[in-house]
Amino acid sequence: MIWNKEMETMPRADIEKLQDERLRKLVAYVYERVPFYRQKLEAAGIHPDTFGGLAELTSLPFTRKNDLRDNYPFGLFAVPLPEVIRIHASSGTTGKPTVVGYTRNDIQTWAEVCARCLALSGAEPGEMFQNAYGYGLFTGGLGMHYGAELMGLTVIPVSGGNTARQIMIMQDFGPHIMACTPSYALTLADKILEEGINPEKLNLKVFILGAEPWTEAMRQELESKLKVHAVNIYGLSEIIGPGVSNECVEAKDGAHIFEDHFIPEVINPDTGEPVPDGEVGELVFTTLTKEAIPLLRYRTGDLASITREPCKCGRTHARMSRIIGRVDDMLIIRGVNVFPSQIEAALVGIPNITPHHRIIVTRENRLDQLEVQVEVTESFFRQVGEEMFMGHPESGVQDLKELEGLLFEALHDALGLNVKVTLLPPGQAPRSEGGKLKRVVDKRQLQ
C-alpha cells in the first residue's frame, strides 16, 4: 500500500510547486526566529521578501554539524522550549552530542513519514512489528514506534540487544515486520540458523534495516537465510530521525525521499557545487515542515547519488542510492580513496569466510598499511585444524594459503591496493550487539 497516495505520487511539477511555497515560508520562518540563520542569510544578502524560492535554493547557506555543536544544546531551536515536547540526541562518539527537538506537529510529521516507510517496506495495518531499534535518546526506536502506531500495527517495543529474547519473541509472538541495524540482523540470522530454528516457521516477512551502511550482498545473505525481504531505511537525527527515505519493496532500487518534507541535493563535497543526478556526492537536505529545529541545506556527510526517474511502484519521489561512504569516514590509503563498503562488497561470494571482518589501518615507515582481518567459517576452521591459527602448520596449509590468496586478489581488484589479509578464527571479529558496529580501526593518528 501507499501510505499517503496524494503526496507520494504527486506529479513532479506539483512537488516542485509545493517545495517552492514551503521553502519561501521556511526562509521567512528561520529569518525571524533563529538568530544564527538571520545572520547567515544577511551575510549571504538574502531577505525573505526578495528570496526567489526553489529556483534560488543553492544561494542559501549550508548548515553543518558543527553549527549544531556550536549552538549546543538548544541554540538553533526556532520555538520557545515549552513548545518542544520531545528531545533526542545523536550518539556523538566524539564530543558533545547533537541535540534536536520536536514540537507536537513535528512528532506528527515524523510519525507520518515513518508510517510511509513501513508501507514502503510492505507492512499492512493490523500486522505485528518488532522494533529492535534502540529506544531512548537515539531517534531510531521512538521514531519507528510512533509511525507503526499511526499505521495501526501492533508494536513490540523490545529495543536493541538481547539476542535470545529477540528470537524468543520472533518465535512466540510471530511479528511480520522487524526493524534493526543490518549488522544486528545478520547476528540474528546466524543465531536463528545455529539454533536449528526453521525460518519458514517464523511469520517474519520483512526486515527494515538502517542506521548504518550495508550492502546488496548483505541483503542477499539475509533474504536467502531467513526467506524474508530486507529493505533499506535512511535517516538522521538532524533532519528528523528515521523516515527521511525508504526503499519500496517492489523495486528495492533506491530509497524514496519524502520530498514534500525534505528537499534533497547532492553536492561535490569539496566545492559545494551541485552534481548531476546519478553522480555520487554529499547528500544535503533542507527540512520544509519542521518547526522546532528547521535546517537549511544541512550537509549530512553521507555520500550517495539520487535519481528522479520514475519507479515501478508508482511513487514519484526521488530515490537515493545506498550510502556508499561518509565524507569523513573515507580512508585515504597511499592516496587511494577507500570506503569500508567496498571492502565489504569485495568479500562477498568468497567461500569459507563469514561476513564478519575488521579493517585496520596503520602507518609503517611512513607508508599506510591496510589490513583486513576476515573471520573464517566454523567448518573451514575445523577442516584446516586449529593448529594452523596457532602458528603450527601441519595440515591444511595449502587451503589456508589459497584462501588468503583469493582474498588478496579480490581486495586488490576492488581497491587497486595491496592489502594485508589476516584470517581470524570464528567469533573473533566484532559483532553488533544491537547498536551500530565499528569495523574500522585507524591507528595512524596514534603513530
Give residues in contact with Zn ion (CB under 5 A).
248, 251, 311, 313, 315
Measured from the Cβ of residue 390, the count of other Cβ atoms closer than 10 Å reads 9
Neighbours of 446 (CB within 10 A): 8
H or E stretch at 434: none
d(CA 156, CA 148): 10
From the CB of 92, what's the least distance to ligand ADP, in Å? 7
- Decide if 87 contacts 99 (C-beta within 8 A): yes
> Quick one: 89 or 407, whose CB is closer to ligand ADP?
89
Q: Is 439 helix (H, G, I), strand (E, B) or coil?
A: coil
Residue 210 binds which entry of Zn ion, ligand ADP, none, with Cβ cut-offs from 5 to 8 Å by kind?
A: ligand ADP
Say how far apart CA 334 and CA 208 lie, in whole Å: 37
For the CB of residue 386, give the shortest distance to ligand ADP in the complex, in Å: 37
> Considering beta carbons, is residue 229 or 352 the nearer one to ligand ADP?
229
| Minimum CB distance to Zn ion, residue 33 (Å) | 36
| DSSP letter (8 states) at residue 314 | S
Closer residue to ligand ADP (CB): 115 or 230 = 230
CB of 359 to ligand ADP, least distance (A): 16
Write the DSSP symbol of residue 97: P
248 binds, among Zn ion, ligand ADP, none (CB under 5 to 8 A by kind): Zn ion
- Shortest Cβ 140–ligand ADP spacing (Å): 7
Q: Which residue has the cell 528561520?
A: 30
Residue-level length of the chain: 447
Q: Which is nearer to ligand ADP, 163 or 215 (CB)?
A: 215
Residues that bind ligand ADP (CB under 6 A): 90-91, 138-139, 210-213, 232-237, 300, 302, 323, 326, 436
Query: Smallest distance, Å, CB 305 to Zn ion?
Result: 16
Which is closer to ligand ADP, CB of 330 or CB of 406?
Answer: 330
Q: Are strands 353-364 and 367-376 parallel, antiparallel or unpaired?
A: antiparallel
Q: Find which of Zn ion, ligand ADP, none residue 78 binds, CB within 5 to 8 Å per kind.
A: none
> 418: number of CA atoms within 13 Å, CB side?
3
